Structures are given as C-alpha cells and as structure tokens.
Structure 1
Amino acid sequence: MADIAASAPAAPGAAPGAAPRRSRRIPTGVTIALVWLLAMLAIAALADVVAPYAMTKMDLRARLAAPGTWAHWLGTDELGRDVLSRLIFSIRISLAIAFGATVISAVLGTALGFLAAHFRGLVEQAVLMLADFQASMPFLIMALAVLAFFGSSLPLLIMLMGFFGWERYARIARGLAIAAQAQGYAAAIRQLGARPSRLYFAHILPNIASTLIVSMTLVFPEIILLESGLSFLGLGVQPPMTSLGNMVGYGREYLTSAPWIMLAPASTIVLTTLSVSVVGDYLRDRLDPTLR
C-alpha cells in the first residue's frame, strides 16, 4: 500500500511531496456579494452626484407614477417624490447608522473585554453580569422606550444602536485575551516592562482582530434590520431625512396601489443584509484556523 501511494502521480503543477492547499479562488456567490456591497458604498458616498433629483423635491402632477419611465425609473411616491432618489439617500443614511453603530459596539465591547481579562475578580464579574443583562433584555423594547422619552435624532440613534451587540465583542475579547496571556509572547512583553495598554492594543489586539472583524460582519446586518424596524415604527430617522426602514414604513400604506414605494427599499435591505452575511461567512471560513 505504501508503494502504491508513493507511486501515485502528483497533481499537475504541484511540487512532489507538497501538502494539498485550499483553493484561493473566491466563490461566485461571495464575489456577487462583494460587488453589491461595493456598489452600495459607492452610491452612499456619491449620493449627491448620482441621485437624479433632490431628496425632498415634489412633483404633484406625477404622484404615484409607475416605474419604467425615463423621468422616474422606480416611480414616485404619494407626494410625487422620485423613489430612486430617495432610495439613494436612504442607502447613505442607513449605512452611516450601521457603520457608526458597529464601530461603537466593537470598541466598547473590546475595551470592556480587555478590562475583564486584565483585572479579573470583581471587574470581570461585573462585566460578565452586564453582558448577561444585555443579552437577556429585548433591545428593541429598550430602544423604543429611550427614543420615545428623549426624542429621535440621528446622533442619539447611532449611539443607541452602538449599544447593540457589544456583549459579543466583550466575551470574545476577554476569552482571547486570557488565552493570549497564557502564551509566551504576552508574558515576555510584560517582563520587558510594556504597559498594559501597549500589551493589549499593540500586541494582543492584532492577533485577535480577524475574529473581531468576522463578528462585526455578523452584527452589521442585524443593526441594519434593527434601524429599519425602528424607522418603520416611526421612532427612527425623522423627516426630512429618510432611511430604508423609513421608506418601507411610508410605503406600507400604498402596498396595494403603489407597491414599488415599499418594494424598492425592502429589496435593498434584504440584498444588503444577505451580502454582508455571505461575506462574513466567507471571512469566518478563511480566517478561522480551526477550519483550515
């Protein structure tokens, strides 16, 4: 059997005795998802340039115009506003909220996870108790209460969304930081006199960054859906600004007479969250050493 295995022909182009390697080719589905996300980012950045009309421009003579005309590719809403233009600006607002909230959540959770890993004891227990409390509380109900009491504004909405999902980063950062401290490089850096901040942020954080990035890709679509739900209920983005959830909320009243008002932003929400999830799953498979 050993002779047969030794005499088996090697794969074309492979060096003799070389171990099989995983294909570096990006799957077609992931490529499509990346193209979609890049297109969304480009639209958000160039909204003022690519939008054919202003976000609030009304044409009462073209109220509820059906899609397919040169003047209004995606039709108009109940006030004669161009659906395509409002969709473009809605993508900008929704992505800005999602990116800002994801960054805030990741920074807050990672910092608390590092504090728990460094001090241990009572500090660690307090952080874990806060994480359990956050995970057990229905965040949508808490967000509704806060926005109903303080009123809705874009900075407040981004800060509030930033408290969503921080417990995931805290648990991941704490566990990986404790594991890193048990390894030789962290102990050697500490013995050289490095400050704790330098140890965690200059040495431990780069080693766990891939796991945190994958977690961000998983939280990002959830924040988009959460913001869409709040805007749908009327407590998210307020006029004259618009978001994807805001457009869906206004379009539900015309679902039977003018379905394009709601279908355009709803389809964008579905495709964007699906694309982020597909890219996140691909990154997890590529960056997780246990799956190699």
Structure 2
Amino acid sequence: MVLPAATTRPRRPLAIPALVLFGIAWLVLMLLVAFSADLISPFPYTALDLRNRLAAPIGFGGPWLHPLGTDELGRDVLSRLIVSIRLSLLIAFGATLIGAFVGTSLGFLAAHFRGWVEHLVLALVDFSASLPFLILALSVLAFFGNSLTLFIVLLGFHAWERYARIARGLAISAGAQGYAAAVRQLGASPWRIYGRHVLPNIASTLIVSMTLAFPEIILLESGLSFLGLGVQPPATSLGNMVGYGREYLTRAPWILLAPAFIIVLTTFSVSLIGDWLRDRLDPTLR
C-alpha cells in the first residue's frame, strides 16, 4: 500500500492593508525628497524674489515660476518645503535613535545589576515620566541657547523612559529563560549576552515603540519651532515654516498650509505603520 505524499500547507501571503501601503509609499517619497533635496529644489531656499512677494500658487493666479507660491520675502515655498522635509526628518530620525539607545541601555543596566542600580533607573524613569517634556525643553533651550545638535539631543530624551521600561522587562524575562542562562554559564560577557542574544529577541518590540515615538518627535519639533525655540534662521524646518506662516494666514495661507499638510500626512503614515507592525509582531494581538 502506497501512502500519499504529505502535502505542505501553503503559507498565506503577507496581506498589507491599503492604508498601510499608502503610509509606506508616502514615507518612501519623503525619504527620496530628503536625500535628493539639493537636486530637485528649483531655487536656493534662501533666494529672494521681491517682485513676487506673497505670490499665490498655480491655479490661484500665481506665476508658473513658483508652483506653490512665495512667502513674505519672495522665497519659493516649494524649495523651502523640500529643504524643510530633509531637516525635519533628520531631527526626527536622530532624536528617535538617541532616545531608543539611551532608554534601552539604561533598561539593560537595570536588568543586569538589579539592586540599587535598578532602583535608581526606575526613579529616573518615574521622574522623567512625571515631568512635562515641553516645559523642560523650553527651559533648556531658553537657558543654554539653541543649536541643531542640542536640539536633536534634547528631543532624543523624549520618551526614553518608554524604551527603558520595555528593555528592562523583556531583558529580565529573557534572563529567566534557558538561552540567556546557558550563554551566561558558558562564560559570555554581558556585552555579548545583551548585544548578541537578548537584543535581537526584543528588537521587534523596540522597533514598534520607535515607530510610535517618531511622529511624536515630529510634532514636538514643529511645536518648538512654531514657538521660535526650534530650528533657527536661515535654516528651515516644517515647524519653522508653520511658525512664520501664521502671521500671513489670511493673506497667504499657502505658506502655512503646505508644511502643515506634510506634517499631518507624515505623522499619520508613521502611526499607521506602527500600528500595523504592532499587530503583526505582537503574538497576543494575532
């Protein structure tokens, strides 16, 4: 008697919702714009055209020379928008990576040493969570002045306690499992245990947390730049453009609406991708 060959069940293809596909496509577009900003900008973002001050966009009576219109100094809104996308994404990516690195490192320290080190880290976590970050940022920027490096580092400390809590809890859980204990008994150093064995197993959770924190960083940068404590002229960012455009909201709304539209779509896209990744990577939500 010949038994039929065992058939393997085909794996279901990865179904990506249409909104998530839109979010991915939008983020790819923003990254392409950021990397090629110097090549695709029609004008230098600081170039003045005083003859076309507050010129309307195409379709509203504006010249073809400036498709999205000009601002109060005759600067091309499209060129400034392209450069602003690059700087805002640089700030958001840099701050997100700093926050993830600081929080994950402190979480691993608390999980490894325990005792008073763990209590100290948890006290810092509770203190940071209880302190309004916007007030802290305003105080630091007003006291120490502003520079792009300080601004990125300061935003990097936003929500670091979130990563610290996640890394500590998952590292303690991994330490109680067999693979981490086996590697430790073989004489591996803590750097190897946490860097080569623990971190890859919790990376998916940290990545989801980063996608959720990324839009918060963009909104914080926009808010601080709107208040005049973010990116300083002649540099420009999306929040900086919104801050300067508010004074011309009734006369030239395109100055404000163009960067505001980019901010909304970018934060919306990252939030969509973060929610989808959380549903895909968290086994309790499947």
Regarding TM over 0.5, the answer is: yes
Distance 2:77 2:101 in 1: 36
In structure 1, give the amino acid aligned to 2:47: K
Counterpart of 1:104 in structure 2 is: 98
Cα deviation digits, residues 70-99 of structure 1 (max 9, x gap) = 211110000000000000000011000000
Answer yes or no: is 1:31 the counterpart of 2:21. Answer: yes
Runs (5+) with no aligned partner, structure 1:
1-14
Cα deviation digits, residues 194-244 of structure 1 (max 9, x gap) = 001100011000000000000000000000000100000001000000000
In structure 2, give the amino acid aligned to 1:176: L
Counterpart of 1:10 in structure 2 is: none
In structure 2, give the amino acid aligned to 1:253: E
Runs (5+) with no aligned partner, structure 2:
none
Counterpart of 1:7 in structure 2 is: none
In structure 2, give the amino acid aligned to 1:26: I
| Cα deviation, residue 291, structure 1 | 2.0
The two structures, once aligned, show a CA RMSD in angstroms of 1.5
Spell out the pairing of 1:167-182 with structure 2 (5 A cutoff).
Answer: 167-182=161-176
Counterpart of 2:123 in structure 1 is: 129
Counterpart of 2:57 in structure 1 is: 67
| Cα deviation, residue 26, structure 1 | 1.0
Cα deviation digits, residues 229-279 of structure 1 (max 9, x gap) = 000000100000000000000000000010000000001000000000000
Cα deviation digits, residues 19-55 of structure 1 (max 9, x gap) = 8976512111101110000000010110000110001
C-alpha change, 1:125 and 1:22, in structure 2 (3 Å) is farther
Cα deviation digits, residues 122-173 of structure 1 (max 9, x gap) = 1101101100110110100110011011111100000101111100000000
Indicate which of 268, 281, 285 corresponds to 1:287.
281
Distance 1:20 1:110 in 2: 38
Distance 1:19 1:225 in 2: 45
Counterpart of 2:266 in structure 1 is: 272
Counterpart of 2:132 in structure 1 is: 138
Distance 2:22 2:127 in 1: 38
Spell out the pairing of 1:45-124 with structure 2 (5 A cutoff).
Answer: 45-68=35-58, 69-124=63-118
Indicate which of 155, 164, 178 corresponds to 1:161.
155
Q: How high is the TM-score relative to the length of structure 1? A: 0.93
Answer yes or no: is 1:246 the counterpart of 2:250. Answer: no
Counterpart of 1:42 in structure 2 is: 32
Counterpart of 1:197 in structure 2 is: 191
Distance 1:267 1:154 in 2: 24
Counterpart of 2:205 in structure 1 is: 211
Q: How many corresponding residue pairs?
A: 278
| Cα deviation, residue 290, structure 1 | 1.5
| Cα deviation, residue 17, structure 1 | 9.3
C-alpha change, 1:214 and 1:249, in structure 2 (3 Å) is same
